[in-house]
Amino acid sequence: MNGMLKNMLSEWFSTGFLNLERVTWQSPCEVLQKISDFEAVHPVRNWLDMKHRVGSYRRCYFFAHCAIPREPLIVLHVALTNEISSSVQAIVKEVPPLETEDMNKITTAIFYSISLTHQGLQGVELGTYLIKRVVKELQGEFPQIKVFSSLSPIPGFTKWLIGLLSSQTKEQGRNELFTDAECLEISKITGDPVSEKLKRLLTNNEWVRSERLVTALHLPFMRLCAWYLYGEKHRGYALNPVANFHLQNGAVIWRINWMGDTSPRGITASCGMMVNYRYFLEDTASNSAEYLGTKHIKASEQVLSLVSQFQQNSKL
């Protein structure tokens, strides 16, 4: 029954029935309110925040079905920048929008939030279609844009890491997560046993209050995150759902960003880290086919180097 319903929804919400609409500050109030209410990745704080997200150097698009206009089905927020962004706070912070955009400062499009507004549409490939349509829209408006990338959350990383620390705790003397030097430095700050203390600190986010501990955990957590995205699998594909989505679209795991999301939600979900999935438009089709067919993940040298460091220190 679920498969039959999914097929029916896929036909009903196929691209031929969907209209791409851009949201601006002049859009109907009901649309702006829905965009704000449905934002699932980086919650909108107030109307000034909403105005900034649809203002200068920002774009917001949604798909609506031709039979129900003004009803967003899936929403994509884009930042127009001159580089691949590493911090979401730099994108969503409250600043007065500039009146005009300097075309010379727009060379990169950052997809920093994509939200499905109705849970019943999960499994219908709206996100893939929306990104493709938005890329075409942006290319038409800004022919000079050559770089397309996401700035994505890493949901599930902290939970996965706490699970690893728990397994380390159960097997006394076992350490496959940190080098000896890292263990020594961390233990000076937290005390022994390192795994048990870290697990407790990660559970309540207290670790970010210590600048020394944040510095000590920088490299090992980056290493662990790279492995989580690249090496942890579900049926051969990336375990992380956001990674799997972008890899299916043909993107490359490009860069892991330390303290890319310092909000309480970001610290809780992924120890503050975010990741860029970069879209090389000429390669997305072949990358997608390779990932779906052979389950091979394309990643940058930064990510592969971190994965290699993890493998040298671990038997996982």
Which of 152, 195, 270, 288 is labelled catalytic?
152
Q: SS3 of 60, please?
A: strand
Contact 303, 254 (CB under 8 A): yes
Q: Which residues pair with 61 in a beta bridge?
A: 22, 76
Is 65 among the catalytic positions? no
User: Locate tokens 């986010």: which residue?
Assistant: 205
Segments in 80-235 forming alpha helices (H)? 89-92, 126-141, 157-170, 180-190, 194-204, 211-230
Judged by DSSP in three states, 23 sits in strand
Question: One of 42, 246, 270, 288 is an active-site residue; which one?
Answer: 246
How many CB atoms within 10 Å of residue 271? 24
Pairwise CA distance, residues 160 & 227, whole Å:
11
Which residues, 6+ apart, have CB-to-CB distance to 98 below 8 Å? Answer: 55, 56, 57
Of 6, 127, 157, the closest CA to residue 61 belongs to 127
Rounded Cα distance between 223 and 229, Å, is 10
Signed CA dihedral, 105, 110, 112, 116: sign only: positive
Whether 246 sits among the annotated catalytic residues: the reply is yes
> Residue 20 pairs with which residues in a beta bridge?
63
Alpha carbons 280 and 121: distance in angstroms, whole number: 28
8-state DSSP, 298 = P
- From residue 199, give the alpha-carbon distance in Å to each of 160, 163, 172, 243: 11, 9, 15, 25
198: left (phi over 0), alpha (psi -120 to 50) or beta: alpha
Q: Which residues are catalytic?
A: 152, 246
